[in-house]
Copies of this chain bind each other. A is one copy, B any other.
Amino acid sequence: MTKSENKINLKSLDRNAPIGVFDSGVGGLTVVREIIRQIPNEKIIYFGDTARVPYGNKSRETVIRFSQQIMRFLNTFDVKTIVVACNTASAYALDTLERDSNIPVIGVVKPGARLAAQVTKNGRIGVIATEATIGSRIYSQYIQELNQEVTIYGKACPLFVPLVEEGLLEDPVTDEIARRYLTELIDIDIDTLILGCTHYPLIRSTLGRIMGPGVTLVNPAYETARELKSMLAGMNLLSGESPKLGENKYQFFVSDKAEKFVVFANSIIKYGILSAKTIHIETY
């Protein structure tokens, strides 16, 4: 259920319209991958803000302004719903986007929080994310709405995104940095760790090795796709068609460096991303 549902006229929405998805850059493709797995008949319009990436060290006001521009861009495609596939934008901008939108908007934070609240046994949950997401305390807020007995420990990990973007997925330096960030979470005996940034699933094996087998790693991407599917089904908005690849089924847009994006995207999603278009997002 999203706040915007009250003003949404479901009859005005086309069930065969595409789903809009956005992220500060490439990380949101891990969410797209899950959406494609779980609801393969849906069309997707993806936008990655590669000219202004990263968002994780920027202010609330700036992330909101950037997110509003992107929502206006996605709405030019008459999308039936928008997925904020970026934890920082979900943390800072989701409320505003929901308020401004007349279609459903869902983020990655609530689904991740819900799953973590379900799987913890000792009631001690860790969250690793960008400086902005941790500073917003949004994971704590959502989890405690679900279960006041749970304690949440947040830790900002600002070097993970550049390390992932440099491809140091399995590397002694990433190990060393991860140990520094995670030591305090190990010391306080969490049993569940939320990967609160879409880049972090790409170093999941490093994180799992350091945390040890007693800690469950929660990737919000899976749960977000599940919630999206369930929401669309509940609104009778699941696609009634089976569009084929090539029929504009998946369209990718970025604000910079389309070629580099395509290479990265093809390594994450194995469904033939042939091209991405560059647009000037600040004009929206």
**Residues in A lying within 8 Å of B, measured CB to CB:** 50-52, 57-59, 61-62, 65, 158-159, 162-163, 165-166, 172-173, 176-177, 255-257, 280, 282
Contact = CB atoms under 8 A, between A and B. Distances in A.
8 contacts: A50-B58, A51-B52, A57-B165, A58-B257, A62-B256, A158-B165, A162-B162, A282-B282
A20 to B, nearest CB: 22
Contacts of A163: 159
A163 B168 CA distance: 14
Contact of A166 (B62, B159, B172): B159
Contacts of A172: 176
Contacts of A50: 58
A176 B177 CA distance: 12
Given A51-B52, A51-B62, A282-B282, A162 B173 contact: no
A57 B165 CA distance: 10
A256 B88 CA distance: 15
Nearest to A180: B173
Contacts of A162: 158-159, 162
Nearest to A55: B51
B62 A58 contact: no
Contacts of A158: 162, 165-166
A52 B257 CA distance: 15
A280 B51 CA distance: 16
A57 B51 CA distance: 9
A164 to B, nearest CB: 11
A176 B159 CA distance: 15
A69 B267 CA distance: 35
A50 B59 CA distance: 10
A59 B256 contact: yes
Contacts of A282: 282
Contacts of A166: 158-159
A177 to B, nearest CB: 6
Contacts of A280: 65
A282 to B, nearest CB: 4
A282 B283 CA distance: 9
A65 B65 CA distance: 19
Contacts of A177: 173
The 6 closest A-B pairs by CB, nearest first: A162-B162, A282-B282, A62-B256, A51-B62, A52-B52, A59-B256
A142 to B, nearest CB: 25
